[in-house]
Amino acid sequence: MFGMEECMMPLTLVEAGEENIIRKIGGKQEVRAHLETLGFVVGGTVTVINAIGGNVIVNVKDSRIAVSKEMAQKIMV
């Protein structure tokens, strides 16, 4: 059996209501910096609230934020 630590997946595949730890943020430096200012930091927690048309609404650092499908695919949990 493998532990959950080895399983990384993009935020777009997470079930609503699940709290996850952010393991990696991909993309260009500007994208990573933008996501960091929104509260997406490695080691932080993120909870998916809803996914609408590929866009994802999440709770991160006590804020509710909507991110595009493209952005959400760069956030690995």
What are 21's two structure tokens? 């730890």
Alpha carbons 3 and 32: distance in angstroms, whole number:
27
Of residues 58 and 4, more confidence is placed in 58
| Every domain of the chain and the residues it spans | 4-76
| Inter-residue contact 21 to 44 (CB < 8 Å) | yes
Q: What is the pLDDT of residues 26-45, one digit of tens each?
A: 999 999 999 999 999 999 99
The pLDDT value recorded for residue 7 is 82
Assess whether pLDDT exceeds 80 at residue 72.
Answer: yes
| Inter-residue contact 48 to 11 (CB < 8 Å) | yes
Q: Give pTM, 2 decimals.
A: 0.86
- Nearest to 62, CA basis, from 75, 43, 41, 46: 46
Across the chain, mean pLDDT equals: 90
User: Hey, what CATH topology would domain 4-76 get?
Assistant: SH3 type barrels. (2.30.30)
